[in-house]
């Protein structure tokens, strides 16, 4: 038999050749896809808003209850209402200020979130706010699942670090303005959204029609 030179074979690739992608697939943990990804990372998402919601979904935002457990602060009261301890559930859904913000934009999103603990809320969102072809669900994802979370967190930080604050009406108007602009420049359009968000075509807007 003719002597042949040994050749290295990468057993984690069907071709036997080493590639970065095959090495990555071999090394990484392959967990089931989290259904909540459709709520957070939907088509056309705004990165900083979706990232804030992702942190919130993991209960990783530095809320006062977490900071207190770390020994960073002794303060525990929500800066938006000054009535209850600041937790993820309270800050985004149980706080009187946050409730009013959700209410101010809920008519645009055609969806209402249930009053449940944080984990149940995330599970509810993953099963109800889905469907790429459903325009109402798209608006719900954009408005309720990212923008409202982001702006509530932004308002909380503005009050904490800058001492500035906005009324519920002002914050709700800012959210609606942002989403309307996002929809106007997006690819998902229909008569329902145009009427709901008062969106006109560029040629109509230019002529004042």
pLDDT band at 133 (very low <50, low <70, confident <90, very high): low
Distance CA 61, CA 54 (A): 9
Q: Which two tokens stand for residue 168?
A: 């519920």
Q: Which two tokens stand for residue 108?
A: 């645009």
Higher per-residue pLDDT: 37 or 68: 68
Residues in CB range of 55: below 8 A, 6 or more apart = 61
Distance CA 62, CA 155 (A): 14
Distance CA 95, CA 53 (A): 17
pTM over 0.85: no
Is-contact 102 156, C-beta < 8 A? no
pLDDT band at 206 (very low <50, low <70, confident <90, very high): very low
Q: Could you give the angle at the alpha carbon of 184 between the alpha carbons of 53 and 102, nearest 5°?
A: 40
């Amino acid at each position: 038999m003719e002597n042949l030179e040994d050749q290295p074979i990468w057993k984690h690739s069907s071709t036997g050749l080493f590639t970065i992608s095959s090495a990555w697939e071999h090394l990484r943990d392959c967990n089931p896809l989290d259904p909540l990804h459709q709520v957070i990372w939907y088509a056309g998402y705004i990165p900083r808003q979706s990232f804030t919601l992702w942190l919130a979904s993991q209960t990783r935002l530095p809320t006062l209850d977490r900071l207190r457990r770390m020994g960073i602060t002794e303060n525990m009261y929500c800066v938006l209402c000054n009535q209850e301890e600041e937790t993820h559930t309270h800050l985004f859904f149980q706080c009187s200020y946050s409730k009013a913000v959700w209410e101010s934009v809920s008519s645009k999103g055609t969806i209402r979130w249930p009053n449940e603990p944080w984990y149940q809320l995330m599970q509810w969102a993953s099963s109800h706010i889905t469907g790429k072809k459903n325009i109402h669900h798209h608006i719900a994802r954009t408005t309720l699942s990212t923008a409202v979370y982001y702006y509530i967190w932004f308002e909380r930080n503005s009050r904490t670090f800058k001492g500035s604050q906005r009324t519920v009406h002002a914050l709700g108007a800012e959210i609606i303005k942002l989403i309307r602009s996002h929809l106007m420049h997006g690819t998902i359009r229909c008569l329902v959204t145009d009427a709901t968000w008062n969106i006109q075509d560029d040629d109509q807007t230019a002529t004042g029609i």
